[in-house]
Amino acid sequence: MCRATPPPNCRYDLKAGNAILAEAKHLPLYEELVAKHKVDYIAGGATQNSIRVAQWIHGGKGFAAYIGAVGKDAYGADLKAAASADGVTTYYDEHADFPTGTCAVLIHDRERSLVANLAAAEHYSKSHFESDATQGVVKGAKVIYSAGFFLTHSHEVMVACGKKAAADNTIYAMNLSAPFLCQFFKTQMHAVLPFADFVFGNETEAAAFAENNGIASTDVEEIAKAIAALPKENTARPRHVVITQGAKATVCASSDGTVTVVATPAIPKESIVDTNGAGDSFVGGFLAMISKGADLKAAIDAGHFAAGHVIQRDGCTFDSSVKYVPAGAPAGGAAATA
């Protein structure tokens, strides 16, 4: 992921808060960023961000593993190094023919606009998924999570993971991830949704989902309830739809009809460095606690903690010396501070 500030103007037709896939007209943007701006290179990928944060918040050695595709190049090596440094085991499908995916992150007034050039990331191979090593990780996982970006190229892999989770009554979680996925990848999204025990998204994605799925309401709680009520494969678990709204309260609607609303802790505007990776970090903190058997409120608290910490830093990074101590738990060691 490369990040530059300030951004070029809107010659590239970009919107604040949005995330899109690069089209031919966007390709010169990458060269322009490097040529005209001071660019920071930060390990990213929405799912890998969440997994790194989950490992940090969980704290247990070897808790989290990540599966995905990279190129056999320096950026691929950087991604692996970033994951290993945070204690995440990687199972990369390494391609000689495609470079590692990159994402231009343009930040303006603390809002981000993402332009992803998926490259190797959209060539995750069936043979890698079916390999013994990958299947071993999938089989052993208590929680499997994928951001929605995987829908653009490998939704069959998401369905296979969802089926495994349903058969074993383990947890499958996914993310709406971007408005364009709700609009242009509806078929793939609806193939995966029946397996989702947790669906994450932000308010913009919830609105896009509603608009493209005949949900008349514009109210986040009503939209979350409608997604929670969609058909579900594993009826032994309810579905929880968790919608974050930046500084506003997080709403979780569950298929049993309950709604949990948790206020987001305020962070002074001047302390926010950039909100890129906020949603990814929320998911990491949330799922780390779910994997420990925590309830929804405790999981949302951990999500808020992780996201609140990350947005006060550059990119999706965190101070790994900070240990998360859930409210009410004995603080045996370092205290949790955002």
Is residue 44 near ligand ADP by the rule CB under 6 A?
no
Nearest approach in angstroms of CB 110 to Mg ion is: 10
> What amino acid occupies position 155?
H
311 binds, among ligand ADP, Mg ion, none (CB under 5 to 8 A by kind): ligand ADP
Contacts with Mg ion, 183-212, as mask; x by CB under 5 A: -------------------x----------
Structure tokens belonging to residue 3: 């990040």
Interface of this chain with ligand ADP, residues 232 to 271, rule: CB under 6 A: 244-247, 250, 264, 267
When binding is defined by CB under 6 A, the residue of 150, 198, 282, 318 that contacts ligand ADP is: 282
Interface with Mg ion, residue 8, by CB under 5 A: no
Q: How far is the CB of 267 from ligand ADP (least distance, A)?
A: 4
Question: Which residue from 42, 2, 16 is spatially nearest to 111, judged by alpha carbons?
Answer: 16
Please report, as residue ranges, which positions from 164 to 203 form the binding site for ligand ADP (by CB under 6 A). Answer: 202
- Three state DSSP letters for 211-245: HHCCCCCCCHHHHHHHHHCCCCCCCCCCCEEEEEE
304 binds ligand ADP (CB under 6 A): yes
CA distances from 134 to 150, 207, 284 (A): 16, 35, 21
For 32, 96, 99, the CA distances from 122, given in Å and listed in that order, are: 24, 14, 11
Work out the number of other CB atoms within 10 angstroms of the CB of residue 290. Answer: 24
Identify each DSSP E strand in 72-194 by its residue range: 89-95, 102-108, 111-117, 143-146, 171-175
Closest residue to ligand ADP, judged by C-beta, is: 279
Q: Which 229-248 positions form the footprint of Mg ion (CB under 5 A)?
A: 246
Q: How far is the CB of 92 from Mg ion (least distance, A)?
A: 29
C-beta of 81 vs 327, nearer to ligand ADP? 327
Question: Considering beta carbons, is residue 166 or 181 the nearer one to ligand ADP?
Answer: 181
Q: Binding of ligand ADP at residue 317 (CB under 6 A)?
A: no
Is residue 137 a contact residue for ligand ADP (CB under 6 A)? no
In sign, the C-alpha dihedral spanning 144, 264, 314, 320 is: negative
Rounded to whole angstroms, the Cα distance separating 186 from 32 reads: 33
Burial of 51: CB neighbours in 10 Å, binned 0-12, 13-18, 19+: buried
65 binds ligand ADP (CB under 6 A): no
Minimum gap (Å) between residue 264 Cβ and ligand ADP: 5
Among ligand ADP, Mg ion, none, residue 244 binds (CB under 5-8 Å by kind) = ligand ADP
- Residues with a catalytic annotation lie at 280
Cα angle 204, 209, 212; round to 5: 125
Burial (CB < 10 A; 0-12, 13-18, 19+), residue 74, is exposed
- For 159, the enclosing helix (H) or strand (E) is helix 155-168
* Nearest distance from C-beta of residue 307 to ligand ADP, angstroms: 3
Question: What residues line the site for Mg ion (CB under 5 A)?
Answer: 202, 246
Contact set with ligand ADP (CB under 6 A):
202, 244-247, 250, 264, 267, 272, 275, 278-279, 282, 304, 307-308, 311
